[in-house]
Chains A and B, each alone.
Chain A
């Protein structure tokens, strides 16, 4: 059994990266491996939008991440500075920044790059998408 940390840098819509990452995560879990966490960086933070609403006949990557987190207890971490620059805001941050809206719910938690780096140190392998 191996422990993986995944880094997702591709945006939710218009990039195949998150779909590949999700499939990798599911396949690894099915084979008995452990996903330490999925770290969203660069445009990958856009996967955390709870407002993302693809057409009904399209794959819903936002929901798929939420289901993965719920079903397999996989930790989904957004790089907070990358997220804030791209308008991805949790309820708590919205209050801190004096914003009237927020779009990131509790399936994702905000972390620093330190969580990516400490994860790399801990995991057997980093896989980037």
Chain B
């Protein structure tokens, strides 16, 4: 079976890309494709704790990230450089994500069959 990496590169709530990326990732995993997620650029903002998206009229799809293990999505990665740029402390992340250097990200892209960027 093919291996997929779904990249979250845009901020949550400003548009639907993150939500639609998550829908795609869960569907892919439920079809038994080995699916990993990578948060990079503004996409790292998905990992901020205590978000209240309902207060700006958005659906709280962030909460769904907590259910990823039920979809057998266990490989969650975040770009080290992006975390630094946004001043996010990797110890304070609400999900069990592995911090990757850009070199490691490149290696991961080489190890999967398809990379889908949202």
Are A118 and B116 in contact (CB-based, < 8 A)? no
Instruction: Give the chain A neighbours of B117 by CB distance below 8 A.
Output: 128
Whole-angstrom distance between the alpha carbons of A37 and B105 in the complex? Answer: 29
A: contact size bracket: 10 to 19
Closest to A125 in B: B114
Whole-angstrom distance between the alpha carbons of A6 and B87 in the complex? Answer: 36
Are B2 and A121 in contact (CB-based, < 8 A)? yes
Q: Which of B35-63 contact A (CB under 8 A)?
A: none
B: contact size bracket: 10 to 19
Are B20 and A82 in contact (CB-based, < 8 A)? yes
Whole-angstrom distance between the alpha carbons of A7 and B116 in the complex? Answer: 10
Verify if A120 is at the interface (C-beta below 8 Å from B).
Answer: yes
Are A126 and B27 in contact (CB-based, < 8 A)? no
A62 shortest CB reach to chain B, Å: 22
Instruction: Give the chain A neighbours of B2 by CB distance below 8 A.
Output: 120-121
A17 shortest CB reach to chain B, Å: 12
Are B28 and A120 in contact (CB-based, < 8 A)? yes
Whole-angstrom distance between the alpha carbons of A121 and B3 in the complex? Answer: 9
A111 shortest CB reach to chain B, Å: 12
Which residues of B approach A to under 8 Å, CB–CB? 1-2, 4, 16-17, 20, 23-24, 27-28, 31, 33, 114, 116-118
- 19 A–B contacts, CB within 8 A, in A order: A7-B116, A41-B20, A42-B16, A42-B118, A82-B20, A85-B16, A112-B27, A113-B24, A114-B31, A116-B24, A117-B28, A117-B33, A118-B31, A120-B28, A120-B33, A121-B1, A121-B31, A126-B114, A128-B116
